[in-house]
Amino acid sequence: MTTHPYNLARFDMVSIQLAVACARTGSLTAAARDSHLALAAASRRIRDLEAALGGPLFERHARGLTATPAGKIFAKHGLVLLQQMGLLGAELSDLQQGVARHIRLWASTAAISQFLPPLLATYSDAKPQVRIDLEEQVSEVVVSSLRDGRADVGILVDGPDTDGLDMQLFAHDELVLVLPARHRLASARSPIDFVDTLAEDYIGLNTGAAMLTRQQQTAQAAGMPLKLRMQVRSFDAVCHLVASGLGIAILPKAAALPIMQSMKLVSRPLADAWARRRMMVATRAGEADAGILDFVSFLADVGPARFKASPKAKAPRLKKQ
């Protein structure tokens, strides 16, 4: 077991919160105010922390504070600790209100936009003692969150390396080309090959999104650059930029349709096979937690049957437990 020279018993939560606030604000005065401490008491707490660590956490100057390398490390891990303590408090509070456990679900934007809300509502109504904590992330981050234990269940677009994970089919979706109504490609009557669009400027999602990765791979295989003009986090933002004439985009059809209609955009099907996608529900390989497996079974059993035909179908009913 690794040993260290620090007496961790001297690191109380108030002092950790104060040091994190100092690193964030660059000001002891602001950090003391945020931590509800008198300035003299805050200064003493920082000095005590530094004495326990054997070195300075901050450089003092006329403009305030600058975190030293040790201070940056302390603030990074201190923030994680504070967040975990917040989660601990929330789960204990939920327990008093009848919530027996939390399941951490990380899912891609496409899954949340098209499929998950009615399913989560159905599951939560049937099993009020289980709280599903949902976080939206790109597919690559969903995979890494499962591997390092930040998530219990993940829903992602098939494509990233999923070694070490157990995968089941969840749903299907289709990618389409999103265009201004007067764009030269808007009048196309047959599906469009993606490589035939590479002369255009593209609006894309942030790095790590499965559809962006596929576009980049296809462009590279064709020996042509993907002219990625702008990257944003949401489908709504993508459509706003397309509507402004700044480029074209590729988005999931069902998720983008209401946005496109409101902005008078049009879509055209893609001829590429990768435009018809599979969404997968994933856990760490060998997952044995009965609660997690029950939730995964619900998603895997309902998802493919329900969403292959129509993402607008009503959620199935479950017996309350």
Query: How many domains, the chain?
Result: 3
Quick one: pLDDT at residue 128? 85
Asked whether 213 and 159 are in contact (CB, 8 A), the reply is: yes
Instruction: Give yes or no: residues 90 and 152 share one domain.
Output: no
- Mean pLDDT, to the nearest integer, of 56-60? 92
pLDDT of residue 85: 80
The pLDDT of residue 301 is 86
What single-letter DSSP state applies at residue 275?
Answer: G
CA–CA separation, 307 vs 171, rounded Å?
5
Q: Which has the higher per-residue pLDDT, 315 or 109?
A: 109
Q: What's residue 170's pLDDT?
A: 93
The model's pTM is: 0.65
Structural domain boundaries enclosing 202: 173-276
- Here the CATH number for the domain that contains residue 27 is 1.10.10.10
pLDDT in tens, 166-213: 999 999 989 999 999 999 999 988 999 999 999 999 999 888 788 888
Residues 184 and 255 in one domain: yes
Indicate if 163 and 179 belong to the same structural domain. Answer: no
CB 140 within 8 A of CB 208: yes
Task: Name residue 281's beta-bridge partners.
Answer: 155, 168
- What is the percentage of the chain residues whose pLDDT exceeds 90? 57
User: Which of 95, 110, 138 delimits the end of a domain?
Assistant: 95
Same domain, 146 and 238: no
Do 156 and 299 have their domain in common? Answer: yes
Same domain, 78 and 131: no
Average pLDDT, integer, range 56-70: 91
Last residue of a domain, one of 60, 95, 130: 95
At 109, is the pLDDT very low, low, confident or very high (cuts 50, 70, 90)?
confident
Shared domain check, 158 and 292: yes
Q: What angle do CA 198, 201, 203 make, to 5 degrees?
A: 110
Six-digit token pair at 238? 């993508």
Helix ranges restricted to H, 104-206: 109-114, 116-126, 139-147
User: What are 4-17's pLDDT values in tens digits?
Assistant: 555 555 678 898 99
Whether the per-residue pLDDT at 248 is higher than 70: the answer is yes
Give the least confident one: 36-40, 147-151, 263-267, 309-313: 309-313
CA angle 67, 207, 274 (to 5 degrees): 165
pLDDT score recorded for residue 127: 86
**pLDDT at residue 149 greater than cutoff 90:** no
